[in-house]
Amino acid sequence: MSNNRTTNTFSLGSRARRIVRFVAAFVNPLVLLIAGRRWMPVVGILRHRGRRSGRAYATPIGMRPLGDSFVIPRTFSDNAAWYLNIKAAGGATVKYLGRTYELVDPEVVDYATAKPAFPRYELLQFRLIGINEYLRLRISPLPIGERVGVRGLNPQPQFKEVA
């Protein structure tokens, strides 16, 4: 029996993860100043809640719309805090091109599924660093605050802009 699910080959050790977190602490606040704006199609703001702490986070992250959903490259495999938080909550909120979307139904998809969402140059970059898994989140048809079943989302959350 074959498993159609692919895995990311991009993996960091604990020392590299500490370095990435250290750099992100300085870079992310700057990126948050431009992410999610109408003229910035590469980076959006992913708003999610800590699965254990309950803290609200705003994470600048590459994403693209795909039909009635968004796809996000899983840059740090299944160990990324933002991914674990979204999976635990069942969704997140995204600001992309100046609009805010509530997203639900997180699902890991492969390169072939996500490919139509990204320009060729981005796909090439992903392949070069070994990213071949993406998180797809469906846009919720219900307005923020009227949806039931996704833990950790609040109609008017106060998010701390940290990685």
**pLDDT band at 152; cut points 50, 70, 90:** very low
pLDDT tens figures, 25-59: 777 777 776 677 787 777 899 999 999 988 999 98
So what's the pLDDT on residue 20?
66
Tell me the C-alpha distance between 69 and 130, whole Å.
23
Name the residue among 43, 76, 37 with its Cα closest to residue 59: 43
Q: Can you give the pTM of this predicted structure?
A: 0.72
**Under DSSP, is residue 46 helix (H, G, I), strand (E, B) or coil?**
strand
- The yes-or-no verdict on residue 153 having pLDDT over 80 is no
- The yes-or-no verdict on residue 131 having pLDDT over 90 is no
Domains and CATH numbers, the chain: 14-139 (2.30.110.10)
